[in-house]
C-alpha cells in the first residue's frame, strides 16, 4: 500500500452558536490547511469530537471533506465507535464517497484488554471497506488500551488484508521504531505526537504523521520535516522547540481539543464551542491564552488564511 509522506491534519469539527455542525466552514478550512503545507485530514477523530457526533453528522462531514480531496490532499475517515455495527456502516459510507482511507481507535467502552479483542474489532470494521487502507489509531490515554503494538502487527499480519498501519500517539519512541522495523517496514507508522516529531525522524525513520496542533501550527511542524530533509538539524530543533512552546501554552488551557480549538478563532476561523461534557474556555481564559501566545511570537509563525 501507498505510505503517507508529510503531515496529515486532525481537524476540529466546527459548530455554530446553536451547537450544530457548521458545514459551511469546511471549504475555507480545507483551503487554509492546503495553503500551510498539510497533506490531508483524518476527520471525526479525537480532535474532531467524533464520539460526540451522531452517525448522520459524521457521514455529512465526510461528504463535505471529500469534496476538497485530491491526489495531494487525502481524506481519511475515523470510523471508530462503541458500536461496531455503526463503525462498519461508517466505513462502507467512506468507501462509497471515495475517501482515501479509514481508521479507528479502540472504543472507550467496553475497555479492550487483549490484543485478540482488538484484532477482532479491527477485522470487523475493516471488512466494511475492504478496498480502503485501514489505520489503527493508538491513543491509549483516551481508551485505556495499553497494548503492545508489535504484537498487534503480528496478529493482523495475514489476517486483515487492508490493514495499512498505525497512527501512533503514545510516548514510546522505542516501540514506535520497533513497529516501523517490523518485516522491513511493511506497515505505515504515522507519528501522532506533535511534540516529538524530530525524535521520530531521527530514530524512528518516520515519513508521515497525523497531528492536532497542525490545525494552527502546521507551518512550524512541516518546517521540522523540511529542515531534517535538508540536513539542517539546528533549524529542525528550533522549530520543534517552538512547537513545544505552543503545546506548553495549550496544556494550560485544557489541551488541544479545547484550547487549540479556541486558537482557531484567534487566527480567523471560528470553530465554535466544544460539545458537552468538554468545559469550554471563558472569555477571560481566552484573553490570557492569547497573551501567552503573543509572548512567544506565535501569531507571526502560525498558519495563515
| Catalytic site positions | 137, 167
- Torsion, Cα 264 211 285 253, to 10 degrees, reads 170
Long-range contacts made by residues 275-282, C-beta under 8 angstroms, separation at least 24? Answer: 275/15, 275/19, 275/49, 275/52, 276/52, 278/49, 278/254, 279/254, 281/253, 281/254
Q: What span, in angstroms and rounded, lies between the C-alpha atoms of 45 and 270? A: 19
The answer to whether the Cα torsion of 76, 77, 78, 84 is positive or negative is negative
Q: Which cell numbers hold the place of 129? A: 471497506
Q: Establish whether the linkage from the previous residue to 248 is cis, with ω within 30° of 0.
A: no
How many CB atoms are located within 10 Å of the residue 86 CB?
16
**Residues in a beta bridge with 40:** 74
- Torsion, Cα 12 205 80 54, to 10 degrees, reads 10
Question: Measured between alpha carbons, how far is residue 199 from residues 7, 136, 138, 196 in Å?
Answer: 15, 22, 18, 6
> For residue 21, is it left (φ>0), alpha (ψ between -120 and 50) or beta?
beta
Amino acid at each position: 500500500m501507498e505510505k503517507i509522506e508529510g503531515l496529515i491534519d486532525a481537524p476540529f469539527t466546527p459548530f455554530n452558536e446553536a451547537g450544530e455542525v457548521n458545514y459551511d466552514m469546511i471549504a475555507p478550512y480545507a483551503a487554509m490547511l492546503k495553503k500551510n503545507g498539510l497533506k490531508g485530514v483524518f476527520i471525526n477523530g479525537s480532535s474532531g469530537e467524533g464520539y460526540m457526533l451522531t452517525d448522520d453528522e459524521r457521514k455529512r462531514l465526510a461528504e463535505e471533506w471529500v469534496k476538497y480531496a485530491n491526489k495531494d490532499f487525502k481524506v481519511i475517515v475515523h470510523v471508530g465507535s462503541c458500536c461496531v455495527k455503526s463503525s462498519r456502516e461508517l466505513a462502507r459510507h467512506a468507501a462509497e464517497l471515495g475517501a482515501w482511507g479509514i481508521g479507528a481507535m479502540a472504543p472507550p467502552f467496553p475497555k479492550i484488554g487483549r490484543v485478540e479483542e482488538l484484532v477482532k474489532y479491527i477485522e470487523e470494521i475493516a471488512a466494511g471497506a475492504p478496498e480502503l487502507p485501514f489505520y489503527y489509531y493508538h491513543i491509549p490515554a483516551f481508551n485505556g488500551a495499553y497494548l503492545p503494538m508489535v504484537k498487534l502487527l503480528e496478529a493482523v499480519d495475514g489476517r486483515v488484508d487492508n490493514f495499512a498501519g498505525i497512527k501512533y500517539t503514545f510516548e514510546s519512541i522505542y516501540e514506535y521504531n520497533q513497529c516501523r522495523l517490523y518485516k522491513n517496514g511493511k506497515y505505515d507508522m504515522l507519528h501522532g505526537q506533535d511534540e516529538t516529531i524530530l525524535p521520530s525522524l531521527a530514530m524512528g525513520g518516520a515519513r508521515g504523521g497525523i497531528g492536532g496542533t497542525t490545525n494552527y501550527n502546521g507551518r512550524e511542524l512541516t518546517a521540522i520535516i523540511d529542515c531534517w530533509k535538508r540536513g539542517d538539524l539546528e533549524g529542525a530543533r528550533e522549530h520543534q522547540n517552538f512547537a513545544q512552546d505552543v503545546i506548553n501554552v495549550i496544556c494550560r488551557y485544557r489541551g488541544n481539543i479545547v484550547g487549540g480549538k479556541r486558537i482557531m478563532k484567534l487566527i480567523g476561523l471560528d470553530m465554535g464551542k466544544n460539545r458537552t461534557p468538554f468545559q469550554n474556555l471563558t472569555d477571560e481564559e481566552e484573553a490570557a491564552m492569547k497573551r501567552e501566545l503573543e509572548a512567544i511570537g506565535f501569531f507571526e509563525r502560525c498558519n495563515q488564511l
